[in-house]
């Protein structure tokens, strides 16, 4: 057979059965974890109003550049969703009848027309859990232990880094960064592990920051003590945001200890998360061996989104966690699965083969019916390559005798089984 040249759009790919089996395993493991926490399934559309996806309660300027836009025959301005968080906040705001706490999960495709790297395509799958109406810090603690249990189930060794936006904002303001610059400064600081202190300071310098402030920031981020919570706890006269941030981290740490997950959790005061919407706890999960630079899950608290959509601007407790299926795919390995329980092959009697196969399938077996009219030897080779342990052989003599041959592929032994045993 000839081969057609690659027709796939840049940033998209086909997942052939071997890959897709692993993806299905990851999806189901996550789904089972979500369900055991009492989360309910939700499915939102991929096609959205552009105005919704570009709302100021949504992803912010960076992500909008990567948004796929289109219009329909009714000349509506549409966009493909770039995450599952905004659709969730929309559903919460559109359906006030939903009982709180409303805990939902959604597994689905999202689209971003951005840079491609290992584990990150333009069309990719997110697996999200979000809770609206559950208070700090229990909701956070539940999501954290849920994530750690799911990664454990998948055989992944991870570290969950956490921080609090209030701590970070309060600290930067204390160092002299103005309110209007603080969000951008946070995004720059978040990159310190990737690009190093020098480049962070360079980029902060472009924010119109005075010399004193620059020096204070340099002192701050190069001071090793600033990595531990005690540094912040011992600061004199902390501002209100800083104080709240410290208190929230202390409370969260109590829960982390009660759940005995402290060895997998790490306070990381420069952790920022890319999006504007976060208002409190933020977290990101990385592989312990650092074999992937991207985080494999991330999330946080975003109490202003639902109220923003409602137009009331009230603070409504909302916290979420998003797992990246494609990036997890790179880190998970599964054992070779045998797809087929029984392999049925016939010598010139396809109808009887189909009858036996159908009966076995109705009994819950996975049956491969081989009617290619190969020589028996070839058929057995194919069954062997598939790892099947039992092969049923039906030829003219078997049909006459009202029985089939059952071959144990390991021993090579064959027994004769009356058709009635396959209950037909």
Considering only CA atoms, which of 194, 220, 193 is closest in space to residue 209?
Answer: 220
Name the minimum Å distance from CB 143 to a copy of itself: 12
Name the minimum Å distance from CB 75 to a copy of itself: 11
| CA torsion, ordered 323, 159, 142, 244, to nearest 10 deg | -110
Of 142, 161, 190, 248, which lies in the binding site for a copy of itself, with binding defined by CB under 8 A? 142
Of 60, 64, 120, 149, which lies in the binding site for a copy of itself, with binding defined by CB under 8 A? 149
Query: How far is 79 from 52, CA to CA, in rounded Å?
Result: 9
Look at the block and give the residue holding tokens 């004199």. 236
Nearer to a copy of itself, 115 or 211 (CB): 115
Which residues, listed in sequence order, are joined to residue 265 by a DSSP beta bridge? Answer: 160
Q: Structure tokens of 296?
A: 């494999």
| CA torsion, ordered 102, 103, 109, 112, to nearest 10 deg | 80
Nearer to a copy of itself, 220 or 329 (CB): 329
Angle at 327 between CA 296 and CA 280, to 5 degrees: 25
Q: Which of residues 169-198 bind a copy of itself (CB under 8 A)?
A: none
Examine residue 123 and tell whether it contacts a copy of itself (CB under 8 A).
yes
Of 109, 118, 199, 378, which lies in the binding site for a copy of itself, with binding defined by CB under 8 A? 109
Q: 25 by DSSP, 3-state: which? A: helix
Name the minimum Å distance from CB 44 to a copy of itself: 5
Of 3, 230, 237, 291, which lies in the binding site for a copy of itself, with binding defined by CB under 8 A? 3
Nearer to a copy of itself, 160 or 189 (CB): 160
Q: Which of residues 9-68 bind a copy of itself (CB under 8 A)?
A: 9-17, 20-21, 23-24, 35-38, 40-49, 52, 68
Nearer to a copy of itself, 24 or 199 (CB): 24
For residues 294 and 117, the answer to whether their CB atoms sit within 8 Å is yes
Q: Which of residues 309-338 bind a copy of itself (CB under 8 A)?
A: 309-312, 316
Residue-by-residue DSSP string for 51-63: HHHTSTTSS-HHH
Considering only CA atoms, which of 291, 276, 222, 283 is closest in space to residue 248?
Answer: 283
Dihedral over Cα of 346, 347, 350, 355: its sign: negative
Q: Which of residues 342-401 bind a copy of itself (CB under 8 A)?
A: 350-352, 354-355, 357-358, 361-362, 364-369, 371-372, 382
Q: Is 11 exposed, middle or buried (0-12, 13-18, 19+ CB in 10 A)?
A: middle
Tell me how many residues contact a copy of itself (CB under 8 A): 97
Residues 6+ apart with CB under 8 A from 67: 50, 53, 54, 79, 80, 82, 111, 112, 113
Of 61, 74, 412, 420, which lies in the binding site for a copy of itself, with binding defined by CB under 8 A? 74
Name the minimum Å distance from CB 22 to a copy of itself: 10
For residues 173 and 179, the answer to whether their CB atoms sit within 8 Å is yes
Nearer to a copy of itself, 231 or 255 (CB): 255
Q: Which of residues 80-99 bind a copy of itself (CB under 8 A)?
A: 87, 90-91, 93-96, 98-99
Q: Structure tokens of 424?
A: 């037909």
Using N-to-C axis directions, what is the helix angle for 179-189 and 192-205, rounded to 10°?
Answer: 150
Nearer to a copy of itself, 195 or 258 (CB): 258
Examine residue 202 and tell whether it contacts a copy of itself (CB under 8 A).
no
Instruction: Work out whether strand 390-394 and strand 403-408 pair parallel, antiparallel, or are unpaired.
Output: antiparallel
Name the minimum Å distance from CB 175 to a copy of itself: 35
Examine residue 412 and tell whether it contacts a copy of itself (CB under 8 A).
no
Nearer to a copy of itself, 15 or 231 (CB): 15
Of 182, 187, 255, 274, which lies in the binding site for a copy of itself, with binding defined by CB under 8 A? 255
Q: 422 by DSSP, 3-state: which? A: helix
């Amino acid at each position: 057979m000839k081969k057609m040249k690659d027709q796939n759009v840049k940033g998209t790919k086909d997942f052939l059965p071997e890959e897709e089996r692993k993806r299905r395993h990851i999806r189901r493991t996550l789904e089972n974890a979500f369900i055991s926490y009492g989360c309910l399934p939700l499915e939102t559309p991929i096609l959205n109003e552009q105005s919704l996806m570009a709302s100021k309660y949504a992803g912010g300027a960076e992500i909008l550049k990567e948004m796929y836009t289109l219009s329909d025959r009714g000349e509506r301005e549409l966009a493909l969703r770039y995450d599952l968080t905004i659709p969730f906040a929309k559903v919460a705001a559109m359906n006030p009848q939903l009982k709180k706490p409303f805990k939902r999960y959604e597994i689905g495709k999202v689209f971003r027309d951005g840079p491609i790297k290992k584990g990150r395509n333009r069309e990719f799958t997110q697996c999200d859990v979000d809770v609206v109406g559950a208070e700090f810090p229990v909701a956070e603690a539940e999501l954290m232990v849920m994530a750690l249990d799911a990664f454990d189930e998948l055989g992944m060794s991870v570290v969950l880094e956490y921080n609090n936006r209030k701590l970070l904002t309060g600290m930067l303001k204390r160092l002299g960064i103005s309110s209007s610059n603080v969000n951008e400064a946070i995004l720059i600081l978040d990159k310190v592990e990737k690009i190093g202190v020098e480049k962070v300071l360079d980029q902060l310098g472009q924010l119109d920051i005075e010399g004193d402030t620059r020096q204070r920031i340099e002192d701050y981020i190069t001071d090793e003590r600033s990595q531990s919570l005690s540094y912040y706890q011992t600061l004199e006269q902390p501002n209100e945001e800083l104080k709240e941030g410290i208190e929230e981290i202390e409370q969260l740490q109590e829960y982390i200890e009660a759940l005995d997950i402290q060895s997998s959790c790490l306070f990381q005061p420069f952790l920022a998360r890319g999006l504007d919407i976060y208002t409190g706890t933020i977290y990101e999960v990385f592989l312990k061996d650092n074999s992937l630079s991207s985080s494999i899950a991330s999330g946080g608290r975003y109490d202003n989104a639902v109220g923003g959509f409602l137009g009331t601007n009230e603070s409504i407790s909302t916290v979420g966690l998003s797992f990246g299926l494609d990036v997890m795919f790179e880190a998970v390995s599964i054992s070779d699965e045998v797809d087929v329980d029984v392999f049925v092959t016939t010598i010139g009697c396809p109808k009887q083969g189909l009858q036996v196969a159908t009966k076995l399938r109705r009994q819950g077996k996975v049956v491969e019916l081989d009617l290619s009219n190969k020589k028996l030897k070839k058929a057995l080779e194919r069954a062997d390559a598939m790892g099947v342990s039992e092969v049923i052989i039906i030829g003219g003599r078997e049909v006459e005798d009202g029985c089939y041959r059952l071959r144990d592929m390991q021993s090579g032994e064959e027994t004769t089984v009356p058709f009635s045993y396959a209950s037909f």
